[in-house]
Amino acid sequence: MFLPPQKHFLDRFGDPYYAKTGVLLGPNGSDGATLNPDESAARDGALTVVGTASISRSVTLFGQPTYAFSGGAAAVSYANASLFDIGNQAYTIEGWFRFLSSMATFHLMGKYTSSTGQRAYEVACTTGDLRLSHASVASAGAAGTVLIAPSVTWVLGTWYHIAADWDLSFYRLYLNGKAMGNAAGSIPPFNSTAKFAIGGQEDGAASMTGNVADVRFTIGQARYKTDVGFPVPTARFPRW
């Protein structure tokens, strides 16, 4: 007799909302490579790498490589597609981030391009806070509003799980499983033409210095929807 393998089964059946994932970026390529296949259910939109963003096998998370960003106008983005337009659907956006320098403003993930006035939703951070912003339909993407901005003392070189969700009534922001605040809101963000970008805006503006791993975007589901908190993931997100 033997115990059946557990890792494969957990990876295969571990996410009841996998069918709703629009982004699931590991990465899992060779050291120094730039492009990496998306592993979400949608697999929609071509990946584009701007600037110095590349895969690093020297800095890992859960035994997997990460994306390294060295500032200087870097980003990884997905082509604009309808799945990134929220509309009247709940959503969750999350990922792991490790900062190597203090920041003025780092764009972490979302559809938010300041230079073209195409703002929709964004998770970002500054030296002293974490923030969730969105642009209303009425603004047509020309102006964004910071909905939640709790104070945070960042420790450089430390991995952080950062997440935000919207359940059609409240926006919420989380750091390492802790609920950091909420904002009432029933109006969805503007459907901008900006690309969904990670580590910097699509044109490389507000790019971070550090590493990114396991960014996941889920449309149609507020995964956490709590004002208390949730257990921090201890393994990479399931791929099925």
CA-to-CA distance for 169 and 158, rounded, in angstroms? 32
Domain map (residue ranges) of the chain: 22-219
Q: What is the mean pLDDT of the chain?
A: 90
CA-to-CA distance for 226 and 182, rounded, in angstroms? 9
Please report which confidence band the pLDDT of residue 112 belongs to, taking 50, 70 and 90 as the band edges. Answer: very high
Q: With contact defined as beta carbons under 8 Å apart, do 61 and 236 qualify? A: yes
Residue 198 to residues 78, 107, 127, 234, Cα–Cα distance (Å):
9, 7, 18, 22
Q: State the sign of the Cα–Cα–Cα–Cα dihedral 45, 85, 177, 180.
A: positive
Please report which confidence band the pLDDT of residue 115 belongs to, taking 50, 70 and 90 as the band edges. Answer: confident
Q: Which of 148, 149, 122 is nearest to 134 (CA)?
A: 122
Give the residue-averaged pLDDT of 109-119: 91
CA-to-CA distance for 211 and 69, rounded, in angstroms? 6
**CATH of the domain spanning 22-219:** 2.60.120.200
Is a pLDDT exceeding 70 seen at residue 47? yes
CA-to-CA distance for 214 and 65, rounded, in angstroms? 10
Is a pLDDT exceeding 70 seen at residue 51? yes
Q: Which tens digit of pLDDT belongs to each residue from 194-232?
A: 999 999 999 999 999 999 999 999 999 999 999 999 999
Is a pLDDT exceeding 50 seen at residue 127? yes
Q: Which tens digit of pLDDT belongs to each residue from 158-196?
A: 999 999 999 999 999 999 999 999 999 998 999 999 999
CA-to-CA distance for 17 and 51, rounded, in angstroms? 33
Residue bearing the bigger pLDDT, 111 or 36: 111
The phi, psi pair for 9, rounded to 5°, reads: -65, -40
| pTM of the predicted model as reported, rounded to 2 decimal places | 0.92
Sheet containing strand 47-50, strands side by side: 47-50, 75-78, 196-198, 106-113, 118-125, 130-134, 145-148
Q: State the sign of the Cα–Cα–Cα–Cα dihedral 142, 74, 41, 44.
A: positive
Is a pLDDT exceeding 50 seen at residue 10? no
Q: Which of 157, 155, 239, 201 is nearest to 53 (CA)?
A: 201
